[in-house]
Structure 1
Amino acid sequence: MALLSQGEKRIEPLDSDGKIEISSTPDERDISSISSGEQNEDIHYLVGWRFYLSTAGIGLGLFLINFEVTIVSTALVPITNELHDFQQASWVITAYLLTYTGGLVIWAKLSDIIGRKLACLSSMIIFTAFSAGCGAAQTLLQLIVCRAFQGIGGSGIYAVTIAMVYEMVPAHKLPIYSSFVMILFLIAVALGPLLGGIISQQASWRWIFLINVPFCAVAAAMILFSVPNNFPNQGRVRHPPRPSLKSLDFLGATLMLAALALLITGLQQGSSLLSWSDSSVLAPLIVSGVSWVAFLASQWYVSREGNTIQPVFPWRFCRSRLVMALLLNAFTIGGVGITCTIQLPFRSQTAVGMTPLESGVRLLAFSAAAPLGFVAMSIAVKKRRVPPIYLSLVAQVLQIIGLVFMSRAPVDKPDWATLYGVSSLVGFGMGACNSAATLMTPFMVEKRDIAVASASVVQFRFLGSTVVLSVITSVGNTWVKNRLSEALGSENLGLLFESTELIDSLPSDLETLVRNRFIESFNLQMEIVLGVAVVSVFTTLLMWQRPQIRIP
């Protein structure tokens, strides 16, 4: 966040339809958190109807794309049962997360070149078009392909709107403003599974995707009419130079996308085939490793002084212990929070036999606690000026406690009531950790890197969820396959991995055995997630410094 001048506050007309505010509040960051090279300058902020309408557009856009991540969690079983391919079920989520994750930094950098408004509107058009495509899909392959393109649009909406959040208000108002916007994000995560269950049970799962079309069109209209074309430089006599398209690091972007796509494809193949020695698993993982090395080498090369190409991942990030710790922390936060959001409804439907709606209701204990954690963190760091890193450590301890109990759920009690209470601890911790990462990001990087840094945090968060989800899916499916192969036989086992509706048709004693094995599988998966949560504590400690960052 740019530092603000200390002159008088004044209101000047932007045009006949709106106004801009020139903020005069001095930035209150600790000296240690001010990046070198930043200078004080007047920053013009939107006020009045432009501010409120653009905020509504940003909030609605963020709501829809994050709503899309979790709404599928309770509808996944009905979708794959209708399209007859349960074994490939996780691709419906992973395809979206793959392109969503891969596009974040690229969209952030592109918005620096073509402008925030144009980048935001372009991504909304892509998201809307392929949401309609998902709703019309007739095969699982068609759905997966449309989900991948839908993720491209979603990544653009997130990357650009988050950058706009940091540019909408002065630094001293950021905790309150970001809390409002991020609460919408967490509400979307909370409501997604519930509404997914309602839609799947009362109508068709296709409306899970089609519902995005009218609402995203409304969000695009809000941005179109309220955000100035030259945002965030509206009202300035002299605009800072905007980089040209030629300065975009196309090689770096290509290598990063290839590395991410191959990594996630290899992990996903491993979880689907239940084998990590197959060539279709090893080949993409090996090539992904080579691509990552090539990507890092390219970023080092283009980050050299005097180079006109702007790297998609500045090498100065790699040289900063704080920034790298922040990104690793985001990886582990996503590996815990989003994975639980997907797996808890899955457990309810396979191990307990609940309907999609019932599983969505059960998830509320977890997902409703996340906004509370975010709000509690924001209030504490703003009103009490407690360093976010202290509270982040407390939140991670809560996650660990919750996961210890979740990984030890009794097999003879499928609908274990205690599970919903301990899952709320994990949800609260997830919200608080997300709040800490969001609030600290602009205070750890230079002003020119805010868009890329905020996108990178989200990218690592979703990359963490994709990697952990693929690993635990493989482990869980392998566990179920090995424990049920003798009892079910190869034919019924194949039918089970095609559609879980088979469980309801089994004899009572065999049905109980299958559901118990799914509970054991879930417990094993949560032990892996618990390990990720423990690692998260160490990544937070890597951000330790003196004095600590305090939010003004």
Structure 2
Amino acid sequence: MDGDAEKKSEAAAWDRPPANGSEPQDPRPDTNITSAEAGMGEPKPKPKPDADTQTGETTAPESLGDELDLSSPPLPKLRYSLLMTGLGCGLFLAMLDTSIVATSLHTIAAEFQDLERINWVPLAYTLTFLSCAVLFARISDVVGRRAAFLSAYIIFIVFSLACGWAKSLDQLVAFRALQGIGGSGLYSITMIVMPELTPDEKKKIIAGIVGIVLATAGVLGPVLGGVLTHGPIGGVSAILFYLSWPEKKYLPPLERRLWREVDFLGSFLLVASAVLIVFSFQNSGSEGGTWGEAVFIGPLVTGVASLVALFAWQFYLERRWGDKMAAAIPLALLRNKAFTAGMLTTMAAGFPYMLSLYVFPIRFQIVNGKSALDAGLMLLPMLAATAVGSALGGVFNDKKNRLAETMVAACIMMIIGCALETTASSDPGLEPKVLGFLVFIGLGFGLSATGSTMLAATESTIQEHASAQGLVAQVRILGGSIGIAASSAILGVKSKAAVEAGAVSASQLSHVSSEAASVSPEQWAVIRGVYTDTLKEGMTVGCIVLAAGVVASLFVYSRSRVPIEEKFRQRYREEAERRQRTAAKPESPHVPAKAVV
């Protein structure tokens, strides 16, 4: 009855003639939100509420009919292009460094005489990257997007240079970890600002572009290796970003948060759980498979306990404070079946992807005798396929929502590639089929990158869009980190077996380059066999993980799914209702909608 009365009242309001002779005004409540916070939509200008930006107090509108000005005029084309270039370079560099040392690991290991611990060089970056992505997004709600992004750039550039000056493996690992903190900020802030400042007519292509950058940057890392230095590129793109940052009139008004609302405890528990769990496998692998000893059990148990404490804390936050606290892991997202399934699928795809980026270049150098540059160039087929897969993911979902099919196809393509790679031999001659099979892995990962980016945007509310993208990045890198650790564990077991059999010495396996002259042809055959068996077993494990990913991807499907564009409109309406409810509560602790500088 109330609904019928409301409709009649609305219809009567449309029929009433305006008092001043102007066009009739739409009597419906505000359904507009910040165009910047959504992936696409059509924002409408509304009047702003009064607010005290110093105290954070909000003056609520007199009624829910009072409308909020949450729109912003489009940026001039030149300024927009320069800004997107700066953001794109930041995103590219952040993802590039997840794999840029892949072809250099063998050289770095020879330089520091430490092949057993060399995988900590990539792991240090990926672990801090995955741990701080959501935290950086939350901090940007407090200090502003520009300050957070420039801070991330400074951290990234400074410690990129420091990595080049490292005098020991321990220093290099430490600098890579700090570099990863900056990289996480470059990623998460870019994923927020790009849709916020993109004109409505261009928002449809954002997910596809981001997917291509994410996918190609990872594969380009080993190819570029030491060809590029971060200093010049990072410095130029940071300057572009700073100079092209728009004036306040072009910035969308967003809800500011306070420092006390940031979930630092949750972020700490997230870091602890990720680092300790990966550390247990990586460290045990480098020790030759000490699975029953304290060096493995201790960190693993502590990491799992931290993970349990993390979720317990998130449940407490949600029940005690609701959305007044910026949780490290928004549980509302995890209750979304499609989003959670997409996260698990993304993590499964990240496992063989990162494993391939690090295992194949080392194998090309040790088994096939290729240089670091040649080893990187041999990943070009995978790069090309990744770009094609990213583009196809956007095409498949242009008119209809086929995200479930996209994610299933991604895992199946990667399974085919991993399974075929298990046929590689330990012969010193390079087998062309090994390069050809990488195409399937690249194609599948490209589909996954675009599909997961779109899924995060459509299955999250506008308020949690940044957190959703951060979580997708985190699980992708977590899966990759576990893949790297798994390869280390497999190599450790295979190496230990070869040493115990008396075929080679531990020193010959650990310092292949420096002791090449003392290795006989028979021993070289054993070494090639160790690295080939490591590859085969890693690909086999990758197939198992991806099979689980196929099962998870089936739950992305929904009978009631709607086209991508319509899904965004639904998110607009939901956010409009939420903001109207918030505007009616003067006790809200958030700083009101203002342009976030």
Q: TM-score category by the smaller chain? A: 0.7 to 0.9
Query: What is the SS of the residue equivalent to 2:171?
Result: helix
| Structure 2 Cα separation of the partners of residues 7 and 244 of structure 1 | 27
CA contact (8 A) 1:496 1:503 kept: no
Task: Quote the residue 2:99 is aligned against.
Answer: 70
- How far 1:235 sits from its partner (Å)? 5.2
Q: Does 1:261 align with 2:279?
A: no
Alignment of 1:9-20 (within 5 A): none
Q: Name which of 415, 438, 443 aligns with 1:428.
A: 443
Task: Quote the residue 1:225 is aligned against.
Answer: 243
Task: Quote the residue 1:13 is aligned against.
Answer: none
Query: What is the SS of the residue equivalent to 2:471?
Result: helix
| Structure 2 Cα separation of the partners of residues 121 and 244 of structure 1 | 20
102-111 vs 388-397, which moves further: 388-397
Task: Quote the residue 2:262 is aligned against.
Answer: 248
Query: What is the SS of the residue equivalent to 2:448?
Result: helix
Q: Kindly tell me: are residues 6 and 451 of structure 1, through their superposed partners in 2, closer, same or farther at Cα, counting changes over 3 Å?
A: closer
Q: Deviations over 1:304-348 (max 9, x none)?
A: 264532212112123222222122122112112122111111211
CA contact (8 A) 1:87 1:272 kept: yes
Task: Quote the residue 1:149 is aligned against.
Answer: 178
Corresponding letter in the other structure for 2:547: V
Q: Deviations over 1:133-154 (max 9, x none)?
A: 1000011111111011011111
Q: Name which of 323, 330, 336 aligns with 1:314.
A: 330
Query: What is the SS of the residue equivalent to 1:339?
Result: helix
Query: What is the SS of the residue equivalent to 2:108?
Result: helix
CA contact (8 A) 2:210 2:450 kept: no
- How far 1:408 sits from its partner (Å)? 2.2
CA contact (8 A) 1:398 1:425 kept: yes
Q: Deviations over 1:26-79 (max 9, x none)?
A: xxxxxxxxxxxxx99635443412210111001111121222222200011001
Alignment of 1:371-390 (within 5 A): 371-382=387-398, 384-385=399-400, 387-390=402-405
Corresponding letter in the other structure for 2:440: L
Task: Quote the residue 1:26 is aligned against.
Answer: none
| Structure 2 Cα separation of the partners of residues 40 and 334 of structure 1 | 41
Q: Does 1:532 align with 2:545?
A: yes
Task: Quote the residue 2:409 is aligned against.
Answer: 394
Q: Kindly tell me: are residues 83 and 313 of structure 1, through their superposed partners in 2, closer, same or farther at Cα, counting changes over 3 Å?
A: same
Q: Deviations over 1:413-455 (max 9, x none)?
A: 7522111111111101101111101112111011000111101
| Structure 2 Cα separation of the partners of residues 335 and 471 of structure 1 | 9
Which structure 1 segments of 5+ residues have no match? 9-38, 200-207
| Structure 2 Cα separation of the partners of residues 484 and 252 of structure 1 | 44
CA contact (8 A) 2:214 2:449 kept: no
| Structure 2 Cα separation of the partners of residues 142 and 295 of structure 1 | 30
Task: Quote the residue 1:12 is aligned against.
Answer: none
Q: Does 1:471 align with 2:500?
A: no
Corresponding letter in the other structure for 1:70: S
| Structure 1 Cα separation of the partners of residues 92 and 560 of structure 2 | 35
Task: Quote the residue 2:501 is aligned against.
Answer: 486
Q: Name which of 295, 302, 326 aligns with 2:310.
A: 295
| Structure 2 Cα separation of the partners of residues 97 and 344 of structure 1 | 19
Which structure 2 segments of 5+ residues have no match? 1-36, 46-67, 566-597
Q: Does 1:187 align with 2:216?
A: yes
Corresponding letter in the other structure for 1:544: Y
409-418 vs 446-455, which moves further: 409-418
Task: Quote the residue 1:326 is aligned against.
Answer: 342
Task: Quote the residue 1:358 is aligned against.
Answer: 374
Q: Kindly tell me: are residues 349 and 549 of structure 1, through their superposed partners in 2, closer, same or farther at Cα, counting changes over 3 Å?
A: farther
| Structure 2 Cα separation of the partners of residues 244 and 129 of structure 1 | 28
Query: What is the SS of the residue equivalent to 1:241?
Result: strand
| Structure 2 Cα separation of the partners of residues 320 and 396 of structure 1 | 21
Q: Deviations over 1:227-286 (max 9, x none)?
A: 2376xx8456xx343111111112212221222222222222122112222212211111
CA contact (8 A) 1:476 1:524 kept: no
Corresponding letter in the other structure for 1:244: L
Q: Does 1:213 align with 2:215?
A: no
CA contact (8 A) 2:215 2:449 kept: no
Corresponding letter in the other structure for 1:346: I
Task: Quote the residue 1:94 is aligned against.
Answer: 123
CA contact (8 A) 2:212 2:450 kept: no
CA contact (8 A) 2:364 2:375 kept: yes
What is the TM-score normalised by the length of structure 1?
0.86
CA contact (8 A) 2:134 2:471 kept: yes
Q: Kindly tell me: are residues 267 and 174 of structure 1, through their superposed partners in 2, closer, same or farther at Cα, counting changes over 3 Å?
A: farther
Corresponding letter in the other structure for 1:68: D
Alignment of 1:497-508 (within 5 A): 497-503=510-516, 505-508=518-521
Corresponding letter in the other structure for 2:556: M
CA contact (8 A) 1:95 1:144 kept: yes
155-164 vs 40-49, which moves further: 40-49
Q: Name which of 549, 555, 558 aligns with 1:542.
A: 555
| Structure 1 Cα separation of the partners of residues 283 and 42 of structure 2 | 54
Q: Kindly tell me: are residues 171 and 316 of structure 1, through their superposed partners in 2, closer, same or farther at Cα, counting changes over 3 Å?
A: farther
Task: Quote the residue 2:357 is aligned against.
Answer: 341
Query: What is the SS of the residue equivalent to 2:75?
Result: strand
Task: Quote the residue 1:35 is aligned against.
Answer: none
Q: Does 1:119 align with 2:151?
A: no
Q: Deviations over 1:468-525 (max 9, x none)?
A: 2212320132113203432435xx2234224444346422232123212321221111
- How far 1:224 sits from its partner (Å)? 1.1
112-121 vs 507-516, which moves further: 507-516
Share of identical aligned residues, percent?
27
- How far 1:539 sits from its partner (Å)? 1.4
Q: Deviations over 1:342-392 (max 9, x none)?
A: 11112111222211112112111112211111011112222x535122122
CA contact (8 A) 1:5 1:41 kept: no
Q: Kindly tell me: are residues 241 and 159 of structure 1, through their superposed partners in 2, closer, same or farther at Cα, counting changes over 3 Å?
A: closer
What is the TM-score normalised by the length of structure 2?
0.80
Query: What is the SS of the residue equivalent to 1:86?
Result: coil
Corresponding letter in the other structure for 2:564: I
| Structure ID, larger Rg | 2
323-332 vs 161-170, which moves further: 161-170
| Structure 1 Cα separation of the partners of residues 534 and 42 of structure 2 | 57
| Structure 2 Cα separation of the partners of residues 481 and 414 of structure 1 | 26
Task: Quote the residue 1:60 is aligned against.
Answer: 89
Paired residue total: 505
Q: Name which of 203, 207, 215 aligns with 1:178.
A: 207
Higher helix share: 1
- How far 1:195 sits from its partner (Å)? 2.2
